[in-house]
Structure 1
Amino acid sequence: PTICGEEIEALYGGNMSAGRFVEQEHVGALIIDYAGLAGLHIPATRAEAACASGALALHLAVLSIASGWYDLVIAAGVEKMTDVESDIADDLLASSVDRKWEAMYGATLPSLFAQMARSHMERYHTTAEQMARVAVKNHANAVHNPCAQYQNVITRENVLASPLVADPLHMLDCSSIADGAAAVVLCAAEKAREYTDTPVYIKASAQAGDTVALHDRRDITTMDATVYAVKKAYQMASVEPSQIDLAEVHDSYTIAEIIAIEDLGFCHKGEGGVLTEEGETEIGGRIPVNPSGGLKACGHPLGATGIRQAVEITQQLRGEAGKRQVPEAEIGLTHNIGGTGATAIVHILSR
C-alpha cells in the first residue's frame, strides 16, 4: 500500500552544516516543505552529530517509535557540499574536530586519521598495502551500485601511487566530498505488515561518545565510542559479532575501516589489516564490509551517510542488491561516526 502524507507523524533530518555549505539553516522544516508536506504541519527536527548526523536522525526516529509517541516517521539525511571551493569545504569539515585545540593549529581530518594510521602501523604492523586493499575492495563493490559516486575499479598500485594527503594516507585512501540525500520510513513493528511484505526490523540502535579532541583519547588506535556503542547494540539485539552477516561501516579513510572492524568485534585488535588482506571482508568473505562501496566509493555527503548505510542494509536483507548481493543475509549492522570518533552510532537490522 502507498503511504499517505497524512500518516507521517514526524520527520528527523540529519545534516551537519547546511548553514555554512549553502547558507541554509532550518533544514528539518525545509525537507518537509520541499517534499510538499508543509501543509500537513508535520513536526520536523534537524539532527546534528557531524559526520554521524544521518545515523543520529535514524536513532532519534527509532527512539520516538520505541517510546510509543509515534507510529510512523521518516528519518532522512542530506548534505550539499560542492557549492563551495575545496579549501572552504576542508575548513568546514575541520569544524567536526576540536576547533580551538586542533583545527586552529593546522590539524585537518586527513592529518588526524593519518596519526591514527601511523600509530596503528607502529603498534600492530598494519601496512599501507593493507589499507590500500580497503579502497580496492570498496571500489570493486561500487561498480555494481548505481548510486555510488565512483563506479570504477582501482588497483593497489593506483592507491599507493596517488598523491600523499597526510602520510601515510594517499588521496585514494580518502573519501571525497559529495552531494547526496537518503530517507527511510519507520513504523511500529506490529504495523509493518500493513505497508510491506518484506519488512526489515531495527533490532538495536545505540549511541556513545568520547572526547572531541583526538589528543585527549585513551588510545588513538581504537575508537572507544564505537566499542561502547556496539556493546550496547549487541546486548539490545541479543546477538554476537559472529552472527552479523554484513556491515556498512564508516570508512571515511581506509584506516577507519580497519579500526572499525576491530572495534566492532569482527576480529581481534590489531588484526583488521590481515582480515582485509585475506579477503574476509569482501562479498563472499566471512564478514562482508561495505558491499555498497562505503564512504570511499559512494562518496560522503555528511548528513546523508548514516541513512544511506541503512538503505543499503535494507536492500541487502531484502535480496534487492543485485550483483553486490551478500548471499543469505539475515542480520546487518551499520556504523557511523562523527569527527574522529567523538560520536559513534550503531544500528543492527534483521529480516
Structure 2
Amino acid sequence: MSDAYIVGAGQSAFGSSPEETYRTLFREAYEAAAPADLDPDEVDEAFVGTLGVGGRQIGLAGPAVTEHVGLHGVPCTRVENACAASGYALRQAVMAVESGMADLVLAGGVEVMTDASADATKYWLGVSGETEWERMAGTTFAGVYAQMADAYLREYDAPRRALSAVAAKNHANGARNPKAHLGFECSVEDAETADVVADPLTLYHCCPTSDGAAAAFVASESVATSFDDRVRVAGVGAASDRVGLFQRDTYTAIPASESAAAAAYDRAGVADPRTDLDFAEVHDCFAIAELLAYEDLGVCGRGEAADLALDGATALDGDLPINTSGGLKAKGHPIGATGAGQAVEAFDQLTGRAGERQLDDPERGLAHSVGGSGGAAVVHVFEAEGVTGA
C-alpha cells in the first residue's frame, strides 16, 4: 500500500462573490493548488464535494468543474455529505492512492451560497439535517446547535462566555487570513452582547454563509518525490451516525467525530492528541461545535472544553492552536469547500506558507469536518516532510 501525500493545495477567497460562478471559483482554487510542474495529463481521478446550494448543476457538478479547468476525460465523482463533503472527497482521494488505483488525484469542493434569498438558503442548509422531523418541523441549524449549546452549558455549568472566547479567537486568526470571509477582529464582549440568533447563540457565535472553492492534489509516494512540497496524510478516519439530533443519545457530544478521530489516530500513531498534534482545524459552524470538537477529538476531557477556550490554550500562541485559519466562524463556510479548505490550511502550516498565522515549525496537524449536526464526520492527520514515519 502506498502512502498518500498532498503535493499542492489552494483555495479561492471565501466570502460573497457575486461576479463568480461555481466553475470560476473552482478554477481559482485549482490554479492556486496546482504545483508549478504539474502535468494535468497525469491526473488519474478527481473527487469534488458540493451540496449544490440553490439547485445549480446538482447532477454532474463534479465533471462540470473538472472539465472547466481542463481535466478532459478524467473520471470525476461528486461527493455529497453535507458540510463534510470535501473532507470525504479528500478521503476518497487518499483511498484511491493508497489502494494503488491512482497515483495523482484531485480532491476539492465548491459552493455558491450568497446569491439565494434568506429563505432559500435556510432550505438548502436544512436538507443536511433530518428532513421529516427537523427541517419540515421548522427547525434551523442555528436552532439545532442552540439546543446542543444549552445542553452543554447546563450539563457542565459552563459559562456562555466560553462560546464568545471561541468566536474572538477565530476572528483574531481570520483577521490574519487574506482569504477569510470575515477578516476582522471581534472582542469577547462583542460576541457576548451581539443579537441573539437562537438562545444561547448570538450572531458572533454563528458562521457566515459563503461562496468559495478549495482543492488539493494527492499523490502516491513514487509520484510525490517529483514535487517540491509534500505533506504526508498519516491517518484518516470517518464515521456516520443518526442524522437527526433528536435520534441520538447525547446532545453534548458528536459520537461520529469521536469514532473518526480514533480511527485516524490509530492509523497515524497518535497516542495523545494533546501532545502529538501541533495544531488542528476543527468544524466550528457554531461556537459550541468547536467546544464539542475539543472533547470529541480528545484534546481535553469531557466538560473541560470551556476552560480550555477561556485560558487561551487554543489561541495562535497557545499550547495547541485551533483553527489558525479563522475556522468556519471567520474564514467562512462554503459548505462543499470547507473540508478541502481545512486541508489547505494544514498544507500551508506544514510547508511554512501560512503568512501572519504561521506557527513555529509545526510537524503534525489535524483537520476535522462534520456533516450536519453530526450525521457524518471525517478526520485527517497530516505530517510535515521529515517527521518520523513520514
TM-score band, normalised by the shorter chain?
over 0.9
Is 1:12 paired with 2:47? yes
Aligned partner of 2:202 among 170, 176, 182? 170
Is 1:324 paired with 2:357? yes
The corresponding residue for 1:280 is 313
The corresponding residue for 2:261 is 230
Is 1:22 paired with 2:53? no
Residues 154-183 of structure 1: CA distance to partner in whole angstroms, max 9, x if unpaired?
011211221111100001100010100010
Matches of residues 56-75 of structure 1 in structure 2 within 5 Å? 56-75=88-107
Q: Is the 1:14–1:47 Cα contact (8 Å) retained in structure 2? A: yes
Query: In structure 2, the residue corresponding to 1:102 is in which secondary structure?
Result: helix
The corresponding residue for 1:248 is 281
The corresponding residue for 2:375 is 342
Alpha-carbon distance, 1:259 to partner: 0.4
After superposing the two structures, state which structure 1 stretch, 109-118 or 119-128, moved more.
119-128
Query: In structure 2, the residue corresponding to 1:231 is in which secondary structure?
Result: helix
Query: In structure 2, the residue corresponding to 1:332 is in which secondary structure?
Result: strand
Q: Is the 2:278–2:363 Cα contact (8 Å) retained in structure 1? A: yes
Alpha-carbon distance, 1:235 to partner: 0.3
Aligned partner of 2:290 among 242, 257, 262? 257
Equivalent pairs, count: 347
User: In 2, distance between residues paired with 1:185 and 1:37?
Assistant: 13
The corresponding residue for 1:97 is 129
Q: Which runs of 4+ in 1 moved over 2 A?
A: 20-25
Alpha-carbon distance, 1:328 to partner: 2.0
The corresponding residue for 1:48 is 80
User: In 1, distance between residues paired with 2:258 and 2:117?
Assistant: 36
Aligned partner of 1:239 among 264, 270, 277? 270
The corresponding residue for 1:211 is 242
Query: In structure 1, the residue corresponding to 2:238 is in which secondary structure?
Result: strand
Structure 2 residue runs without a partner (length 5+) = 1-35, 385-390
Is 1:159 paired with 2:159? no
The corresponding residue for 2:23 is none
User: In 1, distance between residues paired with 2:104 and 2:158?
Assistant: 45
Aligned partner of 2:347 among 311, 314, 317? 314
User: In 2, distance between residues paired with 1:185 and 1:247?
Assistant: 20
The corresponding residue for 1:80 is 112
The residue type equivalent to 2:351 in the other structure is R
Query: In structure 2, the residue corresponding to 1:204 is in which secondary structure?
Result: strand
The residue type equivalent to 1:281 in the other structure is T
The corresponding residue for 2:147 is 115
Q: Is the 2:167–2:191 Cα contact (8 Å) retained in structure 1? A: yes
Query: In structure 2, the residue corresponding to 1:100 is in which secondary structure?
Result: helix
The residue type equivalent to 2:240 in the other structure is G
Q: Is the 1:284–1:327 Cα contact (8 Å) retained in structure 2? A: no
Query: In structure 2, the residue corresponding to 1:165 is in which secondary structure?
Result: strand
Q: TM-score, normalised by structure 2?
A: 0.87
Is 1:31 paired with 2:65? yes
Residues 65-109 of structure 1: CA distance to partner in whole angstroms, max 9, x if unpaired?
111000001001100111211121011101001110111111110
Alpha-carbon distance, 1:26 to partner: 1.0
Q: Is the 2:104–2:223 Cα contact (8 Å) retained in structure 1? A: no
After superposing the two structures, state which structure 1 stretch, 322-331 or 21-30, moved more.
21-30
Q: Is the 1:114–1:169 Cα contact (8 Å) retained in structure 2? A: yes
Aligned partner of 1:136 among 150, 153, 168? 168
Residues 279-332 of structure 1: CA distance to partner in whole angstroms, max 9, x if unpaired?
000012111000000000011000000000000011001111111112121000
The residue type equivalent to 1:29 in the other structure is P
Residues 103-159 of structure 1: CA distance to partner in whole angstroms, max 9, x if unpaired?
111111000100000000011122111100101000000111110011111011211
The corresponding residue for 1:304 is 337
How high is the sequence identity, in percent, across the aligned residues?
A: 39
| RMSD, matched Cα | 1.0
Alpha-carbon distance, 1:36 to partner: 2.2
Residues 237-278 of structure 1: CA distance to partner in whole angstroms, max 9, x if unpaired?
011212011000000000000000111011111111110100
Q: TM-score, normalised by structure 1?
A: 0.97
Residues 6-46 of structure 1: CA distance to partner in whole angstroms, max 9, x if unpaired?
1001110000124x3435431110111210232xx110100
User: In 2, distance between residues paired with 1:21 and 1:290?
Assistant: 30
Alpha-carbon distance, 1:5 to partner: 1.2
Q: Is the 1:21–1:84 Cα contact (8 Å) retained in structure 2? A: no
